[in-house]
Amino acid sequence: MTFPVVGMVGGGQLARMTHEAGIPLGVRFKLLSDTAQDSAAQVVQDVMIGDYRDLETLREFAKGCDVITFDHEHVPTEHLRALEAEGVVIRPGADALVRAQDKGVMRATLDGIAVPCPRHRIVSDPADVAAFAAEGSGFPVVLKTVRGGYDGKGVWIVRSAEEASEPFKAGVPVLAEEKVDFVRELAANVVRSPHGQAVAYPVVESIQVDGVCDTVIAPAPNLPAELSARAQQLALTIARELDVVGHLAVELFETGDGRILVNELAMRPHNSGHWTQDGAVTSQFANHLRAVLDLPLGDPRPRARWTVMTNVLGGDYPDMYFAYLHCMARDPGLKIHMYGKDVKPGRKVGHVNTYGDDLADVIERARHAADYLRGTITE
């Protein structure tokens, strides 16, 4: 067979949905997963169970893969460089991916290409945090471990030097950032291929609850066309300058005075792009595969005026399948995507997509379904 084998490191829901996007293309998929119970490992045929932090495991996994990509950013950078030196095709490559793996490197790189970011600095101890605060508008200050954080983990908002000791206990570098007084959070999702073709999805509004993405609205309501174009161009510029191959999510702050500041980068399919499964001509997952295989990219335009994605978080109601009867009968246009995960409080176990011409109705339908699946509401 001439169809390529895509190897994906990480067995979470992003790998599960990327595999799904590859099925109609005939792309063969190989997975490196922590356990056989992981979300993607339940549905992928060719699964290797192993530790992504072990170089020999990665070498063994790479055998038979035409290209390797990721559903998380946690593979040690030095391992990726070793594999590339041995001729393994990795997309995005180590030089690009380290900008998403290490927040300190990310900020330094973005500074170098004049990308607007919150004021920031690597800090060494609580006294250094206090000095950083004094250089600006004072406390509160946001502290982040430079590696390993996600969904609010590894992030602290501190209001005094006395509160700033916790982040330093892990013994890893800590990044201090000003706490931005933003109007809302946005995300610009783009995809770029090795030969330089790139596409941009509509800029979305991302609503966070307790540091976790709750709802995504596509496109972002009432976003001025000039600001939307600026956000898309900013994401495309970052993708080009950092030589990103695949999907890039640029998380942004929109400020009250009409600025946009880059908060985070993710070089993989991203929660803010899940709406594209049902709301765009070509999903982020399909375009990520096309990009890492250097195929022409698909159309990113939306299918409907509005699409809303709401995450389904675990609660105290484990039997989500029982809720399908109500959700599907109430809303035949509802799209449910479940990840095969055990239900635990606060855990992302799925998401729902709705779409239509009336934004208030689309939002209500998405939130009702997510809350009913979780058991927050029962009627």
Q: What is the per-residue pLDDT across 44-77, written as a single tens digit (0 to 9) for each? A: 999 999 999 999 999 999 999 999 999 999 999 9
The whole-model pTM stands at 0.95
Is residue 163 annotated as involved in ligand binding?
no
For 190-244, write each residue's pLDDT tens digit.
Answer: 999 999 999 999 999 999 998 899 999 999 999 999 999 999 999 999 999 999 9
Does 144 show up as a binding residue in the annotation?
A: yes
Q: Is 185 assigned to a binding site?
A: yes
| 177 known ligand binder | yes
251 assigned binding-site residue: no
Is 344 marked within a binding site? no
Tell which residue, 244, 184, 256, has the closest CA to residue 220: 184
Query: Rounded to whole angstroms, how far apart are CA atoms 376 and 379?
Result: 10
Classify residue 162 as exposed, middle or buried by CB count within 10 Å of its CB (0-12, 13-18, 19+): exposed
Is 109 within 8 Å of 239 (Cβ atoms)? no
- Residue 251: HSE in the Cβ half-sphere, 13 Å Cα cutoff: 24
Query: 119-178, what's its fold?
Result: Dna Ligase; domain 1 (3.30.1490)
- Dihedral sign computed on CA atoms, order 13, 250, 299, 193: negative
pLDDT of the residue at 303: 97
Helix, strand, coil shares, percent, the chain, to 5: 30, 30, 40
Tell me the average pLDDT across 352-368: 98
Give the list of residues 6+ apart from residue 303 with CB closer than 8 angstroms, or none.
Answer: 278, 279, 280, 281, 355
Sign of CA dihedral 47, 292, 102, 181: negative
Res 317: pLDDT: 80
Mean pLDDT score, 35-51: 98
Neighbours of 338 (CB within 10 A): 17
Q: Fold identical between 119-178 and 182-374? A: no
Whether residue 194 is preceded by a cis peptide bond, meaning omega within 30 degrees of 0, is: no
Q: Is the dihedral of CA 288, 292, 295, 297 positive or negative?
A: positive
Domains in the chain: boundaries: 5-90, 119-178, 182-374
Is residue 191 annotated as involved in ligand binding? no
Interval 85-105: pLDDT, tens:
999 999 999 999 999 999 999
Contact by Cβ (8 Å): 61, 32 = yes
Q: How far is CA 156 from CA 23, 177, 260, 309, 348, in A?
A: 41, 10, 22, 27, 21
d(CA 120, CA 369): 39
Identity (one letter) of the amino acid at 38?
Answer: D
Least confident range of 105-109, 237-241, 343-347: 343-347
Task: Give the tens place of pLDDT for each residue, 110-150.
Answer: 999 999 999 999 999 999 999 999 999 999 999 999 987 66
Give which of 270, 249, 194 is closest to 13, Cα–Cα. Answer: 270
> In CATH, what class is 5-90?
alpha beta
Check: CATH 3.30.470.20 for 182-374?
A: yes
Is 264 assigned a ligand-binding role in the annotation? yes
Quote the strand ranges of the chain, DSSP E: 5-9, 28-33, 46-49, 67-70, 120-123, 141-145, 155-158, 174-178, 182-192, 198-200, 204-209, 212-218, 246-255, 260-266, 306-313, 335-338, 348-356
Q: Is 178 annotated as a binding residue?
A: yes
- Please, which pLDDT band fits residue 276 given cuts at 50, 70 and 90? very high
